[in-house]
Amino acid sequence: MAVSGFLLHKYAPLALPQVLNDMPQDYLKLLSQFMGEHNSAVEKHIKDFCVFAEKFNVEHLDVVLRLLVQSLDGESGKWFKTLIDNSVTTWEET
């Protein structure tokens, strides 16, 4: 799938490739949300997210990063939107 203007805006802090890999089917039903209200919950969310990605056999970095972004809600989602466009290029930068 080619990157549309909508996706570029939605994921602006991510440096996405020109062609995106498909997202897993029905992922929204199982993807846990992180609100960013408690610092101690960050590590748990990352662990839960990694289990989720493994369960769905997610192999492509663009899919991992887009799924992680979709798991951010509340204050964590607001924080993500403040990052500079194309500033996140690796898992380690998330």
pLDDT tens by residue, 8-35 = 778 889 988 888 899 999 898 889 899 8
Query: Is the pLDDT score of 52 beyond 80?
Result: yes
Q: Give the mean model confidence (pLDDT) for residues 28-48.
A: 85
User: How many domains does one find in the chain?
Assistant: 1
> Which residues lie closer than 8 Å to 55 by C-beta, 6 or more apart?
30
Query: Is the pLDDT score of 1 beyond 70?
Result: no
The residue range of the domain holding 37 is 5-93
Return the axis-axis angle of helices 61-70 and 41-55, rounded to nearest 10°: 130
Is residue 3 a contact partner of residue 15, using CB atoms and an 8 Å limit?
A: no
* pTM higher than the cut 0.75: yes
> In angstroms, rounded to a whole number, what is the distance separating the alpha carbons of residues 16 and 54?
21
| pLDDT tier at 5, thresholds 50, 70, 90 | confident
